[in-house]
Amino acid sequence: MKKAVTAKKSSVKEADGPSPSKLIDGRIKELGDWRGETLKRIRALIKEADPDVVEEWKWRGVPVWEHDGIICTGETYKAVVKLTFARGAALDDAAGLFNSSLDGNVRRAIDIGEGAKINEKALKALIRAAVELNVSKTKPAKRSE
C-alpha cells in the first residue's frame, strides 16, 4: 500500500518519488545564485497570497503552482526567472507587472532579472486574482438524458 506524503500541499505519493515541494527545494539549492533566491522569494509570496496553493513539478522540471487549475509556473533561465501566469491575459494588471509574453491571447509572464525589485504587494494581488479566476471557472452543465 502506498503511503501519502505528509506534506499537505503535494499530490505525489512517496512511492512515486520525491514530492513536488522537495523537487522545488532541490531546484532552488541547485541554482545556488540570484535565480535560486528569486525563485525562493516568489514561492514564499505565492504561499502568502494563497495558503491553499498546491505545488507541482511538470514538464521535466518546471515548478508549477495550482489552485483549481494552474496559477503560474516558475521557470529559470540564464538571465531571468520567468513567472508565467496560465490565464494572465484575463487578469487586470494595474501595476503593470507583466513584461513578457504580451502578444498571446491567454498567457502573460513576468521576467525578473538579477537585482530586479519585486513589487510584492502587486504580485500577491495578481496571484489572488489568478486564484479567483480559476475558482470562478464555470463548469459545463450536465446534460440530462
pLDDT in tens, 86-131: 999 999 999 999 999 999 899 999 999 999 999 999 999 999 999 9
User: Which sequence spans correspond to the domains of the chain?
Assistant: 14-132
Instruction: Name the percent of the chain lying above pLDDT 70.
Output: 84
Cell 525578473 sits on residue = 112
Q: Is the pLDDT of residue 5 over 50?
A: no
Where would I find the H helices in 51-98?
none
> Is residue 8 helix, strand or coil?
coil
Tell me which CATH code domain 14-132 carries. Answer: 3.90.1150.200
* 70 vs 11, residue with greater confidence: 70
Residue 45's pLDDT band (cuts 50, 70, 90): very high
Of 51, 55, 60, 48, residue with least CA distance to 21: 55
The pLDDT of residue 84: 97
**Longest distance between any two alpha carbons in the chain, whole Å:** 59
Cβ pair 104, 28 in contact under 8 A: no
* Contact residues for 1 (Cβ-Cβ < 8 A; gap 6+): none
Contact 100, 71 (CB under 8 A): no
Q: How confident is the model at residue 3 (pLDDT cuts 50, 70, 90)?
A: very low
Per-residue DSSP letter, 144: P
